């Protein structure tokens, strides 16, 4: 779908975007982080990867990691994991408490696309996105298929999103 105004904004946007990745997991390490690998492979083809870490599902560690990444000049932080409904899934509560502005459309579109792929199990996802200190934060589920769906939604929009977040 072409839109003149959107295309003008995209043309004014920079592709020089600094990205960071956070995997939240109590059980994964670098050898098992397929979702983090997928995100990294997409990012390094088009943007600048500043950092990638794996942390436990702990709110304080997530908040500290986000603050450090923003201080290190990340324009975009992509999190994977911790968006489900179990007691240890803290990502959504943590990041939404930080957001200056929420990007409701990401979660809505993600759940719609997930519904088309997996049916009503999409109800379990609480994927979310927002802006915090002029940084775009996207929180995706931990499964590789869910990350592929989410990244398909956002990867082309990052320059446009960052452009507006920095205004």
pLDDT digits (tens, 9 = 90+) for 29-46: 788 899 999 999 999 999
pLDDT digits (tens, 9 = 90+) for 103-124: 999 999 999 999 999 999 999 9
Q: Which one has a higher pLDDT value, 12 or 40?
A: 40
48-72: burial string, b at 16+ Cβ within 10 Å, e else: bbbebebbebbeebbeebbeebbee
Phi/psi for 102 (5° steps) reads: -100, 140
pLDDT digits (tens, 9 = 90+) for 64-97: 999 999 999 999 999 999 999 999 999 999 999 9
Q: Taking 60 as the threshold, does the pLDDT of residue 10 lie above it? A: no
**Alpha-helix runs per DSSP H in the chain:** 4-12, 34-46, 59-71, 91-98, 104-118, 144-154, 158-165
CATH architecture assigned to 15-116+125-165: 3-Layer(aba) Sandwich (3.40)
Phi/psi for 166 (5° steps) reads: -85, -10
Residues β-bridged to residue 78: 21, 138
Domain boundaries, the chain: 15-116+125-165
Alpha carbon distance 128, 108 (integer Å): 9
pLDDT digits (tens, 9 = 90+) for 124-154: 999 999 999 999 999 999 999 999 999 999 9
Query: Residue 2: what pLDDT?
Result: 63
Q: pLDDT band for position 11 (50/70/90)?
A: low
- Residue with structure tokens 């995706």? 140
Residues β-bridged to residue 106: none
């Amino acid at each position: 779908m072409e839109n003149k105004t959107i295309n003008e904004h995209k043309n004014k946007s920079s592709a020089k975007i600094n990205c960071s990745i956070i995997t939240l997991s109590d059980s994964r390490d670098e050898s098992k982080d397929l979702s983090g690998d997928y995100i990294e492979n997409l990012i390094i083809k088009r943007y600048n990867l500043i950092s990638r870490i794996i942390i436990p599902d702990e709110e304080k560690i997530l908040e500290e990691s986000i603050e450090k990444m923003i201080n290190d000049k990340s324009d975009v932080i992509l999190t994977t994991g911790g968006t489900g409904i179990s007691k240890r899934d803290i990502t959504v509560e943590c990041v939404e408490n930080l957001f200056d502005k929420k990007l409701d459309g990401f979660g809505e579109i993600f759940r719609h696309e997930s519904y088309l792929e997996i049916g009503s199990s999409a109800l379990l996802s609480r994927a979310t996105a927002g802006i915090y200190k002029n940084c775009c934060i996207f929180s995706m589920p931990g499964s590789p298929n869910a990350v592929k769906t989410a990244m398909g939604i956002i990867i082309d929009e990052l320059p446009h999103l960052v452009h507006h977040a920095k205004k």
